[in-house]
């Protein structure tokens, strides 16, 4: 492992530092190390999500946008984008669009962990679920009736769709 350096005007010197290999552990030492590691992990407790925005830090694990789920989705989408690397410069516009959607979704998930605001219209590991909107300050027609949009949630009637529009 000795390599020689050559600098103009200086004598050749050899590299003297030797990398030492670790002594292999016996089965007893491995078992003891495993027990110590398990004890340390148990004492550590659950993840506190310190790098996550404070507004989403306390969300339960079964919440549809919990930080743990979003972090796992980020890993999945990073792998997907690696496999779709050739789509970026493809001549097929559907492939380019798929790659762009993936990049944007990944960026939105990372920003959600940083600022606590979900800025994508879909969520889930495969973007299979759609975000529903809650109307907080409704607009009104001139005659005083509330303006309604299909697919939005209203506190007085719930989700507004074609069936609820026909009932009123």
Do 123 and 77 reside in the same domain of the chain?
Answer: yes
Contact 150, 168 (CB under 8 A): no
Q: Where are the beta strands (DSSP E) in 96-163?
A: 122-123, 129-130, 133-134, 152-154, 158-159
Do 138 and 108 reside in the same domain of the chain?
Answer: no
Determine the Cα–Cα distance for residues 17 and 165; give it in Å rounded to an integer.
80
Contact 56, 65 (CB under 8 A): yes
Q: Which pair of structure tokens corresponds to residue 79? A: 């792998």
The pLDDT tens digits for 17-33 are 888 888 999 999 999 99
Q: Which pair of structure tokens corresponds to residue 143? A: 């005659």
Structurally, how many domains does the chain consist of? 2
| Bridge partners (DSSP) listed for residue 133 | 152
The pLDDT tens digits for 60-84 are 999 999 999 999 999 999 999 999 9
Burial 28-40, CB ≥16 within 10 A → b, else e:
eeeeeeeeeeeee
Determine the Cα–Cα distance for residues 155 and 167; give it in Å rounded to an integer.
16
Task: Please check whether residue 24 lies inside any domain of the structure.
Answer: no
Confidence (pLDDT) at 86: 93
* Structural domain containing residue 139: 133-167
The pLDDT-based confidence of 168 (bands split at 50, 70, 90) is low
Task: Please check whether residue 153 lies inside any domain of the structure.
Answer: yes
Average pLDDT over residues 96-101: 96
Do 101 and 153 reside in the same domain of the chain?
Answer: no
> pTM of the full predicted structure?
0.66
Do 110 and 71 reside in the same domain of the chain?
Answer: yes
Q: Measured over all CA atoms, what is the biggest interatomic distance in the chain, rounded to whole angstroms?
A: 96
Name the phi and psi angles at 146, rounded to 5.
-75, 135
């Amino acid at each position: 492992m000795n390599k020689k350096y050559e600098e103009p005007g200086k004598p050749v010197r050899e590299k003297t530092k030797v990398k030492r290999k670790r002594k292999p552990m016996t089965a007893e030492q491995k078992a003891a190390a495993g027990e110590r590691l398990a004890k340390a992990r148990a004492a550590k407790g659950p993840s506190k999500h310190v790098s996550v925005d404070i507004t989403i830090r306390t969300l339960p694990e079964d919440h549809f946008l919990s930080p743990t789920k979003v972090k796992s989705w980020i890993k999945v989408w990073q792998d997907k984008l690696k496999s779709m690397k050739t789509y970026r410069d493809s001549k097929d516009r559907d492939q380019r669009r798929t790659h762009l959607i993936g990049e944007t979704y990944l960026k939105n998930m990372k920003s959600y962990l940083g600022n606590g605001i979900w800025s994508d219209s879909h969520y889930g590991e495969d973007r299979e679920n759609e975000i529903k909107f809650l109307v907080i300050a409704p607009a009104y027609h001139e005659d005083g009736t509330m303006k309604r949009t299909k697919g939005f949630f209203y506190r007085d009637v719930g989700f507004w769709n074609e069936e609820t529009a026909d009932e009123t």
